[in-house]
Amino acid sequence: MNRRVIPSLVALVAGCAIASSPMAAPKELKFSVYMSETHWLVRDVFKPFAADVEKLSKGEVKVKVMAGGVLGGAKEQLGLAEKGIADIAFVIPSYTRNRFLYTEAGLLPFAFDSAEQATNAMSSLRGKYLNAEFDTVKLLMVGTTSPSALVTTVPVNSLADMKGLNLRGAGGAQTAMLKAVGANVVSMPVSDAYLAFQRGALQGTIIPLASAPGYKFQEVVKYVNPMNFSVTMTALVANPNTWKSLSPAQQAAIEKAADQARIHQGKGFDREDATGLQILVKAGSKQTRLPAADKAKLSELAKPMWAKWEQTAKGRGLKADQFMTDLRAAIAANPAK
């Protein structure tokens, strides 16, 4: 055989072997979500995030959205990601009290006027402050809810009406504010509130109206007071070992998809807030509003909470003064639309 033909045959055989070998199976990541499959966040944010990851990674990474708390409840999501039970999880940072102090500043009363504003402002602080707080997981995205309303089973027409009621807040300043007006604060995940309403153990909760129908609150609450109180911080986190197992290109695809999810979440909460109010009212809930004097009183009650956050942060060795300066600048740079 001609010696010149041999290298060509070798190359041809090698090429055929490569062509006939199966492609590497896509890496599948488990994404834990405690909301039900029918919740709008699953439909409009989490499933599109999964689709974006697959598209941007060119099929190398697939995300399986595991909704309905099949891997764990609302308070367990961070632990699921830390332990690798979930590769990605949707976390409410305030469920782990005082651990993510910079992030919890987003809970401060009357800081924001919309979810889009709050999400953009807090996201702009990730690199300088928030990423380092999430030292047991990889932080993919921070977001927020829309500013919360108060939904109740009894009418609340004044601050005096809140005294003695069993009310749920999402921790931090929400809890402090409820205590300041004389409410009995009930600590529980929002996913447990429906049954508590049914049993009479809970008379109200602070919640974004965008989220209320997802928990079927229209079936158990009778009154809505759009207090525009505070947002609840959220986070998308990944297990650190899972993250390290991904190639730089795959990581970049997930981060880009997570940033799109941040945008979808901010806009979605503001859109769904109006829809949520319509659903509650259509189901029979009545709107109540606080008098102007009570609203002014609430604003005064909020001021010490901002000061307390700064004092606590300083006690923990955090850059509280600089953070507050940067937070106020971020809010000003992202006006509500």
Q: What is the pLDDT of residues 131-170, one digit of tens each?
A: 999 999 999 999 999 998 999 999 999 999 999 999 998 7
Where do the H-state alpha helices sit in 36-146?
Answer: 40-41, 47-56, 77-83, 101-104, 115-123, 131-133
The residue type found at 244 is K
Look at residue 253 and tell me whether its pLDDT is greater than 80: yes
Which fold does the domain 149-230+286-333 belong to in CATH? D-Maltodextrin-Binding Protein; domain 2 (3.40.190)
Residue of 329, 321, 328, 323 lying closest to 129 (CA atoms): 323
Look at residue 236 and tell me whether its pLDDT is greater than 80: yes
Domain 24-146+232-275 has CATH 3.40.50.300: no
The residue that leads in pLDDT, 121 or 295, is: 121
Q: How are strands ordered across the β-sheet holding 27-32?
A: 61-66, 27-32, 88-91, 233-238, 138-144
pLDDT in tens, 44-84: 999 999 999 999 999 999 999 999 999 999 999 999 999 99
pLDDT in tens, 1-55: 555 555 554 454 455 444 444 567 899 999 999 999 988 899 999 999 999 999 9
Whole-Å CA distances, 1 to 5, 13, 15, 131: 7, 16, 21, 65
CB 217 within 8 A of CB 207: yes
Average model confidence (pLDDT) across the chain: 91
Q: What pLDDT, on the 0 to 100 scale, is given for residue 2?
A: 52
Distance CA 262, CA 216 (A): 24
Q: Name every residue whose Cβ is closer than 8 Å to that of residue 93 and which is 6 or more positions away in sequence.
A: 78, 99, 100, 103, 104, 233, 234, 235
Q: What pLDDT, on the 0 to 100 scale, is given for residue 107?
A: 87
Q: What pLDDT, on the 0 to 100 scale, is given for residue 20?
A: 41
Q: What are the structural domain ranges in the chain?
A: 24-146+232-275, 149-230+286-333
